Amino acid sequence: MYKYIYIYIMQSSKSGIEFLNECLLDIKKADGYRLDVNGEKIGELSFNDWNLYELSDECTKVESIYGKFRVIEKKFKNSNCESKDKKFNKHNCETDNKCIWNQGCFYKDGSAAAKYNELPNLVIMAGFSVNSFCGTSKVIMSNLDVLEKKYKAIYIICYDEKKFKGIQDTAFVSIDSRSEELKSKRDVETRAEVYKEEVVMFEQFGNILDKVIRCLGLTNVHLLGKSSGGGLTMNIVYKNPIYTRLYLAVPAHPTFCKSIEKLGDRLNKMKLIIGWNQNDDQKLGRIPSCEQMELYEPILAKLKSIYPKFEYKQYRFTPGNKHEINPELLKLIIDDK
């Protein structure tokens, strides 16, 4: 189950070595592939039934600034797939028009195939560190049976930790010079000014990651962001109509929550679910994560007053699983229609 994580760590970051004992791995079976943004296959890889897309964009020199983006993909088989019936195969579907072939499955009529194609895709973003990526991947991979009830496929985006961390460190040069009193303020207006370089950085990252997602050719995308990944998803969701749901797990501090105002009228069709953990004391912008829920509430309530059909819910899980995606949040996501 964790074969893929091992390959990612070995390829991208020496700091991931410490996680090898958690992601113990046999990589003998070859079954994946690697693509660039133009759809050109550039090599065969082996990850059981997971695929790896390695994305870069030489035209805009994205790679030189942000490093290589990797996306791991898990496609779920449609529960209505009829491929066990051996008298049907891809050739018969294409030549005799007796069935419809789609994503490795065939259907005796078009309704089941069409229903499958309409299912949403879930794109998941962890925080910037290898530690956050591993933690997120383990939760997701441990709950595939839950996720396949709703989604056509899931995608976990991996960033280049060193590149992202370097850009983050640069953004914090000015922030770190400001007083602790200012950096600990809880009103969003003050925080937006104190952390303005970080706000600009996340918007910059959001532009690039939106492009990465669209390069995959996805439609009807649900975004799930954890920690700093929550800040990223809030800076992606408003950029394109393909994003139809937003889910956040212990997300970045509430300065970034104001970004979703840019959805405008699309908020009337948007649903947002946020999950917090009572025992999560990790500080985000000088404020413990477990105390952030109350800071998000007035921002979201204000948006609700402007866009009355906007639906949002926040949950605090007790005791929780610290600074990680809570499996209970995944169940709420599956139940969200």
The predicted model scores a pTM of 0.78
Q: What is the rounded distance in angstroms from the CA atom of residue 41 to the CA atom of residue 286?
A: 44
- Indicate the domain borders of the chain: 81-118, 119-335
Q: In terms of Cα–Cα distance, which of 47, 92, 39, 43 is closest to 74?
A: 47
Q: In terms of Cα–Cα distance, which of 161, 154, 119, 160 is closest to 140?
A: 154
Mean pLDDT of the chain: 74
Q: What is the CATH number of domain 119-335?
A: 3.40.50.1820
pLDDT level of residue 128 (50, 70, 90 thresholds): confident
Number of H helices, E strands in the chain: 13, 14
- pLDDT tens-digit map of 145-194: 889 889 999 998 888 777 777 777 777 666 667 666 666 666 777 777 77
- pLDDT tens-digit map of 51-106: 666 665 443 455 567 777 777 878 887 555 554 454 555 555 555 555 555 555 55
* Section 273-298 average pLDDT: 90
